[in-house]
Amino acid sequence: MEDSLLQYLKYYEKLPQWIKYPAGILYSSLPPMVRYGTFYSNFRKRIDYFLHLPDHESMINAQQEILFAEVNRSIKEIPFYQQYDSVRCLDDFHRLPVVSKADYLKDISLFCSSNVSRRLKVNTGGSSGTPLTFYLEKKKSRPKEKAFFDWFWGNWGYRPNSRILMLRGKPLTHNALYEYQSIKNCLNVSCYELTPGNASTVLKEIQKFKPQFIHAYPSAVDVFVRCIGNAAQNCFSELKALFLGSEFLDHEEKNRFESFFQAPACAWYGHTECALLGGALPRDDRLLFFPFYGFFELLDDAGNVITQPGVTGRIVGTSFDNSVMPFIRYDTGDRGTLSEPVKLGNFFCPTLARIDGRAQDLIYLQDGAAVSLTAFIFGQHFKEFDLIREMQIEQRELGSIVLRIVPLNTLTEQNKQAIKDFLEASVSNRLKIQIETVKHIEKTLRGKHRFLIQHYHTHS
Give the separation between CA 67 and CA 56, rounded to whole angstroms. Answer: 16
pTM over 0.85: no
Residue 342 contacts residue 309 (beta carbons within 8 Å): no
Give the separation between CA 337 and CA 356, rounded to whole angstroms. Answer: 8
In our burial notation (b when 16+ CB lie closer than 10 A, e otherwise), range 86-108 reads ebeeeeebeebeebbbebbeeee
pLDDT at residue 447, rounded to an integer:
44
Looking at 88-240, list the stretches that DSSP marks H as alpha helix, in order from N- to C-terminal side: 90-94, 101-106, 141-154, 199-209, 218-228
Beta strands in 103-181 (DSSP E): 119-124, 132-137, 164-167, 178-181
- State the virtual CA torsion across 417, 422, 426, 428 in degrees, nearest 10: 40
Q: Could you tell me the maximum CA-CA distance found in the chain, to the nearest angstrom? A: 63
pLDDT in tens, 210-227: 999 999 988 788 888 878
pLDDT in tens, 155-207: 999 998 899 999 987 778 888 899 998 888 999 998 778 888 888 899 999 99
What is 54-69 written as a DSSP string?
SSHHHHHHHHHHHHHH
Measured at the CA of 11, the angle between CA 417 and CA 428, to 5 degrees, comes to 40
218-228 and 251-261 are packed helices; what angle lies between their axes, rounded to 10 degrees? Answer: 50
400 — pLDDT class (breaks 50, 70, 90): very high
Domains of the chain: 1-358 (3.40.50.12780), 362-454 (3.30.300.30)
pLDDT in tens, 36-68: 889 999 999 999 999 999 999 999 999 999 999
pLDDT at residue 12, rounded to an integer:
65
Residue 257 contacts residue 277 (beta carbons within 8 Å): no
CA atoms within 13 A on the CB side of 440: 5
In our burial notation (b when 16+ CB lie closer than 10 A, e otherwise), range 311-322 reads eebbbbbbbbbb
Residue 438 contacts residue 405 (beta carbons within 8 Å): yes
Mean pLDDT of 314-332: 96
